[in-house]
Structure 1
Amino acid sequence: MVIAWWAALLGLLLAIGLILFRVNPVYALIFGAIVGCLVGGMSLTQTTDTIVKGSSGVMGTIIRVIAAGVLAGVMMESGAANVIASNIVNHFSDKLAILALALSTMALTGVGIFIPVAVLIVAPIALEVGQKMHYSKLSLLVALSGGGKAGNVISPNPNTIAAAKGFNVDLSQVMIADFVPAVVGLIVTVLLATLIKHRGSFVPDDQKFESKQQDDLPSLKAAIVTPLVAVVLLLITPVGDIFGIKALASFNLDAMYILPIAGLIGTLAMGQSKKFLQYMAKGLARMTDVVMILIGAGAIAGLVSASNLPQKVVEIVQTTGISGTFLAPIAGILMAAATASTSTGVILASNSFAKSIMSFGISGTGAAAMVHTGATVIDQLPHGNYFHVTAQAVQMHFKERMSVVLWEMLVGLSMTIVATLMYGNLF
């Protein structure tokens, strides 16, 4: 049966409300889906089937996210991520410190590190730079967060995997499509962070920083092997398509294989083969929360898919005369804002509105790029963990952290506008 649009909307709003009241997002999303189905007239059995079907729809994404855990575990646990970040900052002059900080988090998220973890890794370096150059914490966090957002849309992270799977395109295609928006995001980040470098609170002059040296840190050459192998393997098929090389075009090695292979080769290059199983276990542990949220997102997406809400949204778009193209970025913006999560927002937007978005004649890659960049606009709200993790990273109180949200939003919005102009068939 088809559920009325208002029942699906009620379930979605209930889930959002529970998240805002600090209920675990997984339970909030599943409970919202249950209530929406029951209020919409489904029986208990039909409700169960709808939720199971919705959660089953995200299994492809979940498998790839688990595979990405190998790469993330290797990069973080081996110290490779720290080495890459430190080298980027050290190779830039003081005058280019803000660019160096933004580029560091962009590089880390770009190679598969979660954006909160990337900010945590670079934050101590940023605070030292801020103290030395007398830059405000506001400026430092905008640089870190904006750079992380730019890297996040071109990375093999869960959100990119969800965008690719949601629109049935290759992960590499989404990463390539988002490259220009990401570069624009980096530029906007540097400009904004520079503009506000003397606004807000500063790092105390008497604050001491202890340099934490990890034993057996890899060299820079060894540290970049893992992301380099991943990028090369992910680009084989697209390069084959572009240049008409059939052997490469038919390669079709999925991210499910590529990311663990890159992690293994990188581990061998760093001479840490004995620790590979440990890296795998740590990487999987880091992915557990993401996997659980994806299951909850799948449940609510099942509710929306079983309703006529997507059709009603399309009707509203057509009635108002707004180009249907804008449904893609708007869906990404609203769903990510509702859940305060890029990956959850992407999977809700793509799984619930993919058919409606595609009905306007937009390509799968273009739709994925617009939804994906849209999900970076206001995904940093207080009902998510990113807001609080990043505030603690730069020792910032709640009110001041809220002031960063506007600047982060401008970075995400710049990428969304560029993606929409590039792929929205507006001209």
Structure 2
Amino acid sequence: MNAVIIAVLVMLVLSLFRVNVVFALITGALVGGLTGGLSIEKTIEVFTNGLGGSASVALSYALLGGFAVAISKTGLPNLLVEWVLGMVGKQGDSKAKAMSKTLIVFSILLMACFSQNLIPIHIAFIPILIPPLLKVMNELKIDRRLIASVLTFGLTAPYILLPAGFGKIFHEILATNMADAGLAIDMGDIPVAMLIPTGGLFVGLLVAVFISYRKARSYEEVEFVEMEKGQYSKVGIVFSLIAIIAALVVQIQLNSMIFGALTGIVVVYLSGAIKWREADDLLTEGMKMMAFIGFVMLAAFGFADVLKATGDVDQLVKQAADLIGGNQSLAALLMLLVGLLVTMGIGSSFSTIPIIATIFVPLAMELGFSPMATIALVGTAAALGDAGSPASDSTLGPTAGLNVDGQHNHIWDTCVPTFLHYNVPLIFFGWLAAIIL
């Protein structure tokens, strides 16, 4: 049996049984490497070498965690909480609560979408924006699975559809690899071809918001930074806002989450809102808050490198091609399922495109798929799994913000909801696009 399928299944099954995701990734990599013909020594070597690829990401998360705690200490989150709770009303008016819930969900969705195209900061905003809002969400009894679904939609749909920011990178990679595989396309056709698949994501979002997670869900009130009501100064608030803006500007200008977070921390410290003798403890506390996400990213890169080293990723694509024959409907479905398996394991749609385009583009041309249908097939196959994969930053990011108080499970509260609401409709709508375009 193909090593990629076995490794991904081992990783997913262990994760679903609430085995630690890091342990699940390491075990999956070991099983996949041995199944793919690598010796145990070679598997360990490849996995270990792959860890370095995510070192900058892990450090970014750690510093963003420190920045989030520093911002919380200034009192800005408490001010935000008091303002929103004031909107809810002293008597807990149901209409006010509904309006507040709508405002929060819409604001988070807007910020997530902006993070891909308009202000390309990707997941960097989540550890800063979400933890301070948890108290408000708890008061309004908002199901965090809803917020995870909203965030993941905003982290995936915009770059798939819109050719700006990360979307431009995705579209360029798609166009370049399709051209290298023998089909030159106009980049202007990509948004048109990806419109139907993106519609599947939108349908999933509507189901999550209005059906699956519309009911109230209670959480315990846990403070990750202790602070009394009203304990903030105008100077601290102003400097915290300046710190957030400075962090975003530096990150965009230098294309570095590390130095962006570092800049924000320095600005907060210079404001005097945090005493220097407290600085080390606060930064350490923030790093611990994000440590789990950093370790998952490290393990995910090693896992992906082992899968690539086995050579079974290419073999999986070729095996799917051999099964297809001349059936277009079956071809479209198998291509999408292969894309799902590969991306669930690797955790990145951007890295999946070069792997699948090499085989899928010639195959699609041979089967008579139009260029637009081929774009939809390859683009959707690559994007599948980005939502729902335990190793994807589109799921790790939401968990990083929602689990700071230990009440949001990465697998069952982020990965499973996003897989069901986005990957399932994306398969159907991607298949539909390939058939009708």
Please say whether Structure 1 and Structure 2 have the same fold, judged by a TM-score greater than 0.5. yes
Q: How many residues align?
A: 358
Shift in CA distance, 6/120, structure 1 to aligned 2, threshold 3 Å:
same
CA displacement, residues 2-26 of structure 1 (integer Å, 9 cap, x when unaligned): xxx7234323322333333333222
Q: Whole-Å Cα distance in 2 between the matches of residues 355 and 54 of structure 1?
A: 18
CA displacement, residues 140-160 of structure 1 (integer Å, 9 cap, x when unaligned): 556544444356669xxxxxx
2:305 maps to what in 1?
Answer: 302
Q: Whole-Å Cα distance in 2 between the matches of residues 232 and 415 of structure 1?
A: 36
1:376 maps to what in 2?
Answer: 387
1:229 maps to what in 2?
Answer: 246
Deviation of 1:281 after TM superposition, in Å, equals 1.6
Q: Whole-Å Cα distance in 2 between the matches of residues 202 and 49 of structure 1?
A: 45
Q: SS of the counterpart of 2:340?
A: helix
2:281 maps to what in 1?
Answer: 278
Shift in CA distance, 392/14, structure 1 to aligned 2, threshold 3 Å:
same
The one of 261, 264, 267 equivalent to 1:262 is 264
2:291 maps to what in 1?
Answer: 288
CA displacement, residues 11-45 of structure 1 (integer Å, 9 cap, x when unaligned): 33223333333332222222222233233333333
1:12 corresponds to 2:8? yes
- 1:397-408 counterparts in 2 under 5 A? none
| Unaligned segments of structure 1, at least 5 residues | 131-136, 155-162, 170-179, 237-251, 336-344
- 1:6-405 counterparts in 2 under 5 A? 6-84=2-80, 87=83, 94=96, 96-103=99-106, 105=108, 112=124, 114=126, 121-129=132-140, 141=144, 144-149=147-152, 193=209, 200=215, 213=229, 215-216=231-232, 220-236=237-253, 252-269=254-271, 271-272=273-274, 274=276, 275-315=278-318, 319=324, 320-322=330-332, 330=340, 334-335=344-345, 346=347, 353=352, 355-357=354-356, 359=358, 375-376=386-387
Q: Whole-Å Cα distance in 1 between the matches of residues 134 and 17 of structure 2?
A: 29
**Structure number with higher relative contact order (C-alpha < 8 Å, ≥ 6 residues apart):** 2
Deviation of 1:53 after TM superposition, in Å, equals 2.3
Q: Whole-Å Cα distance in 1 between the matches of residues 73 and 215 of structure 2?
A: 34
Shift in CA distance, 59/215, structure 1 to aligned 2, threshold 3 Å:
same
Task: Confirm or deny: 8 A CA contact 1:55 1:296 kept in the other structure.
Answer: yes
Q: SS of the counterpart of 2:297?
A: helix
Deviation of 1:309 after TM superposition, in Å, equals 2.6
Task: Confirm or deny: 8 A CA contact 1:223 1:270 kept in the other structure.
Answer: no
Identity of aligned residues (%): 14
Task: Confirm or deny: 8 A CA contact 1:67 1:260 kept in the other structure.
Answer: yes
CA displacement, residues 210-260 of structure 1 (integer Å, 9 cap, x when unaligned): 996273366654333233222223334xxxxxxxxxxxxxxx453332221
Shift in CA distance, 11/193, structure 1 to aligned 2, threshold 3 Å:
closer
Q: SS of the counterpart of 1:62?
A: helix
* Matched residue type, 1:286: M
1:240 maps to what in 2?
Answer: none
* Matched residue type, 2:69: G
CA displacement, residues 364-417 of structure 1 (integer Å, 9 cap, x when unaligned): xxx99996795335769xxx9989x97999999x9xx98999976687569979
Q: SS of the counterpart of 1:322?
A: helix
* Matched residue type, 1:277: D
Task: Confirm or deny: 8 A CA contact 1:105 1:145 kept in the other structure.
Answer: no
* Matched residue type, 1:305: K
2:185 maps to what in 1?
Answer: none
Task: Confirm or deny: 8 A CA contact 2:51 2:298 kept in the other structure.
Answer: yes
Root-mean-square deviation (CA, aligned residues, Å) is 5.9
Shift in CA distance, 84/411, structure 1 to aligned 2, threshold 3 Å:
farther
Q: Whole-Å Cα distance in 2 between the matches of residues 290 and 261 of structure 1?
A: 22
Q: Whole-Å Cα distance in 2 between the matches of residues 371 and 378 of structure 1?
A: 13
Task: Confirm or deny: 8 A CA contact 1:63 1:256 kept in the other structure.
Answer: yes
Q: Whole-Å Cα distance in 1 between the matches of residues 357 and 21 of structure 2?
A: 28
Deviation of 1:356 after TM superposition, in Å, equals 0.9
Task: Confirm or deny: 8 A CA contact 2:149 2:205 kept in the other structure.
Answer: yes
Q: Whole-Å Cα distance in 2 between the matches of residues 303 and 386 of structure 1?
A: 26
